[in-house]
Structure 1
Amino acid sequence: YGDAVQMILIVAGAVICLGFGLYHIGGWSSFTELVNTQRLTTLNLNSNGFDGAGFGLLPMIFGGIVLYASYYGCDQSEAQRSLAAKSLSDLKKIIMTASFLRFPITMIYCLAGLIIGTLALTTPEFIEQIPAEHPDWMMPIFIINYLPNGILGLLLVAILAAAMSSLSSAINSLSAVSVEDYCRITGKTLSSETSIKVAKYAGVFWGAVTLTLSFYAGDIAPTIIEAINKIGSVCYGPILATFLLGICTSGITAKQVNTGLIIGVLSNIYLWLYQPQIFWFWWNLSGFICTVSIACCFYLLSSKSTNKPFFTARLKLLTATNTTALIIWFFFLLGFCFAIESLLL
């Protein structure tokens, strides 16, 4: 519920920033005259993501499918939100709603950034306050200098609350998984009081780890959002493969799947360190394929591989109506992105 309230505050804050950005830049007509039209190109058809160029269409589609399937289907923090739903039918409606609303919300964020970025590039005193090595400072500087005091305070609180919420979700997820794995490995059954106490200690530990790693996050990518997705792309593909192998197969063992998981993550780390020309969105797909391939190879090499049927029918897919709606929505978004420049200008 806290995440839901903060989402409303953040989206409302983005709309407010968009409105005040337009006001200070002189309105929509001034924005369309001043905006750098290269910023309106949303689909890069000239690169497949293997030549050092980023954000090509193919890696965004294939890598993005794996990334978001893993995030919404396997991520512990997302699972916690799913468990807050009243029923399974409500959860299905929530996920479908998120599928359709994610793009409009992201569009609001991007448009707000585009307007405020245009304002910064045409306002010398504004651009001088943004360090070249910290482009993420643009929005906080705009909020502080261009918004009225009441709204300024509300947005700063919303940003801090959202940041704390994201951190608390991640640390709570790590803590929950640590306690669960500890009980599974040791074979112990902890009482409710003891498990909560152990979870608190685990939370402190993971909080310290997260704080330590945050000092090095700035060296991973130019912006925070890119750094987050770059780190996630190392693991999301192998994680999705692990979950699907666990759900859709019966004969394969945990050791075989975990071997594939480790090799899948290591292969992505290799691509990160030694193949920088490969766009990191491909890592999601490559890690997924590598994990499935390695796990299946070990399964086939095992003398016990024929004892059980490999595939099971436990994976429930979307209904035909939902699948059709999502496919139509996908092609609509592609068409919208192709036409966005003409629509905005």
Structure 2
Amino acid sequence: MAIATISPLDWLVIGFYLFGLISFSLYLSRKQHSRADYYVGGRSIGAWPIAISTMATQCSTNSILGAPAFVAFSAGGGLIWLQYELAVPLAMLAIMIFLLPVFRAMNLVSVYEYLERRFDLKTRLVLSGLFQFLRAFATSVTIYSIALVVELITGTTFLISVLILGAITLVYDVFGGVKGVVYSDVLQMGILVVVLLMLFVILVGELGGLTGIFNGIPQERLQTLDFSHHGLGDGETFAFWPMLIGGFFLYVSYYGCDQSQVQRELCAANIHESKKSLFLNGLLRFPLVLLYCLIGVGLGSYAASHPEFIQQLPAEGGTPNYNVAVPLYMLQVLPMGLVGLALVALFAAAMSSLDSVINSLSASTMEDFVRRLSSNAWSDETELWISRVVTLCWGSLAVVFSFYVGDIADSVLVAINKIGSLINGPVLGVFVLGVFTRRCNGLGAVCGLCLGFVTNVLCWLYLPNVSWLWWNVIGLIVCMLGGYLISIFAGCRQQRGEPFTVQLDWLNWRGRYGILVLYTLGIVGVLALL
């Protein structure tokens, strides 16, 4: 049952938007002549579109709906969520200095190709296969969870909801390639920001200004910094230090070692544009997250003065589904036409998360398995069409699997960040061993990866009071120590490529490096003032 009736005008707005996406992707397909055009856009995409696209992938529907619900309604929730953003600028800085120069110098399409050049083919295939398994599973769960929200909002069936999200995303992904992903993300981010700003302005006006918003919510939900806990056994997950230190390694691993993120960094014309995209992402992400968290504060205040609002939320097991609070408020306060635009914003947040993952799954499959293990010499045109077929296969599998994750989706969605933290540290450890050590070999790297993962699983099972954010640090350390020692004891030294030299590029980038450090301190200052 839908929470409101969607007018024909709103459906027309949604249909026009979806038709425009498909038409744009077909236009871009005419300019593709090789797999390089398809996967890295001919390395000609500007820094601003790459930065906005990367940010759009992070700003998923789960974030747009879940973060305000956490701030406004969840037990133990509030603006403490903003501590997630402390490590982002520092992570961008580390990637710009230590990882990006290596990947750009090798002219990669798949980031896992580096591991073969440094270690061996086995290491490349293990990391690429692991990425594909985890991302395909997470994508299916994402489609399922978002389709449920669309079904609830619009009153369409689950099948139609999946087709709207999955099939449309798949069509423009298959034909548009990475340029279709990036430029559609830019459009979708623009729509999303406009809608979020409209909602915030409406909330501010309805509740009597910013003072009314902050006075209408319990004061404990306005706490933004927690220096009194450490997360190492005190049961406090979202304390300052685990979110800063653990979050730093989480983001370095995700933005620097995950194909879905690194692929876009490789689309720029040169390393300076790639660095600029990371720099911009480090600056732009916090204001966006702050915006939708402040909407959460506004919704909490609105619900306190309008008790009937909570009663209008659909119940699950007798408990209101707070994740629908944002779309419910949209439907109540926006006029016809703008409701359609608001729903387009929710679709946009979903699609911007799905399109990049499907394209990166295709890229890693094509580069690490199909081309690497095939003895055939294909023309550029043949490789392009094979790339599109691989994209179609991955997208179709994700859509099909989304119908079979219903029994586990709720628990997985709650634990999805934990699951990522089980492997983020070990994956980063493999790349660090490759970049900074001479004696580590492929056997040691893979064994270190396994040791780090098993250690984190044991922490989950037997150390429940340790914040899962620390797993990113623990897994990294165990992977590096275990991998290095095993490489020494195995006695089969393997070194590939030239030893890595840190590319500070100090003269051109020292100002922007300093800005990222100061920006982090500025975020802490902003959080202290809220």
TM-score where L is the length of structure 1? 0.87
Greater relative contact order: 1 or 2 (C-alpha under 8 angstroms, separation 6 or more)? 2
Aligned to 1:278: 466
Identity of aligned residues (%): 33
Aligned to 1:335: 525
Q: Secondary structure at the match of 1:46?
A: coil
Cα distance change, pair 199–237 in 1 and its aligned pair in 2 (3 A): same
Which is further off, 200-209 or 58-67?
200-209
Aligned to 2:333: 146
Equivalents in 2 of 1:247, 1:313: separation in Å?
A: 6
Aligned: 1:89 with 2:279: no
Counterpart selection for 2:197 from 5, 9, 15: 15
2:389 aligned partner, one-letter code: K
Aligned: 1:204 with 2:396: yes
Equivalents in 1 of 2:190, 2:480: separation in Å?
A: 39
Aligned to 2:482: 294
Aligned: 1:34 with 2:222: no
Aligned to 2:141: none
Aligned to 1:343: none
Aligned length: 335
Equivalents in 1 of 2:505, 2:251: separation in Å?
A: 16
Q: Secondary structure at the match of 1:53?
A: coil
Aligned to 1:244: 432
Cα distance change, pair 206–316 in 1 and its aligned pair in 2 (3 A): farther
Q: CA deviation at 1:85?
A: 2.6
The answer on whether the counterparts of 1:233 and 1:281 sit within 8 Å (CA) in structure 2 is yes
Counterpart selection for 1:165 from 348, 352, 356: 352
Cα distance change, pair 278–259 in 1 and its aligned pair in 2 (3 A): same
Equivalents in 2 of 1:109, 1:190: separation in Å?
A: 50
Equivalents in 1 of 2:320, 2:434: separation in Å?
A: 43
**Deviation digits for residues 157-200 of structure 1 (CA, Å, limit 9, x no counterpart):** 12112202211221222232233332377354463134543443
Counterpart selection for 1:51 from 234, 238, 252: 234
Which is further off, 248-257 or 210-219?
210-219
Equivalents in 2 of 1:53, 1:241: separation in Å?
A: 26
Cα distance change, pair 2–215 in 1 and its aligned pair in 2 (3 A): farther
Equivalents in 2 of 1:335, 1:318: separation in Å?
A: 29
Counterpart selection for 1:76 from 256, 259, 271: 259
Aligned to 2:41: none
The answer on whether the counterparts of 1:259 and 1:295 sit within 8 Å (CA) in structure 2 is yes
Equivalents in 1 of 2:412, 2:376: separation in Å?
A: 40
Aligned to 2:514: 324
The answer on whether the counterparts of 1:72 and 1:78 sit within 8 Å (CA) in structure 2 is yes
Cα distance change, pair 309–4 in 1 and its aligned pair in 2 (3 A): closer
TM-score where L is the length of structure 2? 0.58
Aligned to 1:231: 419
2:527 aligned partner, one-letter code: C
Equivalents in 2 of 1:194, 1:29: separation in Å?
A: 57
Aligned to 2:323: 136
Which is further off, 23-32 or 115-124?
23-32
Equivalents in 1 of 2:311, 2:466: separation in Å?
A: 34
Equivalents in 2 of 1:273, 1:210: separation in Å?
A: 28
Q: CA deviation at 1:232?
A: 2.0
- Specify every segment of 5 or more residues in structure 2 that has no aligned partner in the other structure, as ranges: 1-182
Cα distance change, pair 318–159 in 1 and its aligned pair in 2 (3 A): farther
- Specify every segment of 5 or more residues in structure 1 that has no aligned partner in the other structure, as ranges: 341-345
Equivalents in 2 of 1:217, 1:133: separation in Å?
A: 18
Aligned: 1:219 with 2:411: yes
2:481 aligned partner, one-letter code: S
